[in-house]
Amino acid sequence: MSKVVLVTGASAGIGRACADRLAGAGWTVVGASRRGTSSGAGWSGLVMDVDDDESVAAGVGDVLARHGGVDAVVLAAGWGIAGAAEHTPIHDARAQLETNFFGVVRVTQAVLPHMRRSGGGRIVVISSIGGAVGIPFQAFYSASKFALEGWGEALSYEVAPFGIGVTLLQPGNVRTDFTDSRKMSVAEGAGDHYDAAVAAAVGRMARDEADGVAPDAVARKVERVLQVKRAPLRVSVGKAAERAGLLGKKVLPDRVFTAAARRSLGVRRTAGLREPGAATRRMTE
């Protein structure tokens, strides 16, 4: 019998590519999404909202009832929010963390009891290079991915004795509808202090994503992770320059790395504006 994998976020993008590729490789694939994609190329669909406790419990229960178990889960559901951190309403920030972080936690908590009882399993979390390098004007997206990195690493220690492997997959720029569906968030009454910088940085990001790797490149990496005997904790995928950024973050002095990252991410060191009295304060410091 083929192994069973549950893929979240399977309606589009990386999740859809993973569902298609794994089904083609012989896995029994259940592709879950809030939109309720009915099916794909050789796999069945499932309506499941990762933001909702009851929906996740029912969805995972349905997979277990239909297939008798789940051998792996690929956690690809997520979305992005952009805007100045100062002007992002708290409800928007919470919504970002709710899906990208707590949605992963919910599904993992739902599948772990079965994996423990069956003596093993694989958990693949679609993180991001933005979980290691903060992305300006996407602070809460980065926060959600940084949270996944810490949580996933801690989880890997906890579940290893039960034969369960955890992998944090860190894509760089990927050509998907993620770019067009990114939400721009601005607090009511916020000034235009950041407008030009937001437009420049987000515009740069959109162009880089349009020139990114195809989602199947990520799916191929997921397939390899699920094939190996011992799952690596972290795997990156994307263009060489993006992946080099992960190494640079580890080995370069902060000042050097920050300067390079600023240029790469399209942000300026100064805003060209000074608050009243700023010059005076500098003279007296």
Active site residues: 11, 127, 141, 145
Q: How far apart are CA 55 and CA 52, in angstroms?
A: 5
Angstrom CA distances, 161 to 84, 123, 215, 234, 247, stand at 42, 14, 32, 19, 30
3-state secondary structure the chain: CCCEEEEECCCCHHHHHHHHHHHHCCCEEEEEECCCCCECCCCEEEECCCCCHHHHHHHHHHHHHHHCCCCEEEECCCCCEECCHHHCCHHHHHHHHHHHHHHHHHHHHHHHHHHHHHCCEEEEEECCHHHCCCCCCCHHHHHHHHHHHHHHHHHHHHHHHHCEEEEEEEECCECCCHHHHCEECCCCCCCCCCHHHHHHHHHHHHHHHHCCECHHHHHHHHHHHHHCCCCCCEEEECCHHHHHHHHHHHHCCHHHHHHHHHHHHCCCCCCCCCCCCHHHHHHHC
Instruction: Supply the Cα-derived Rg of the chain in whole angstroms.
Output: 20
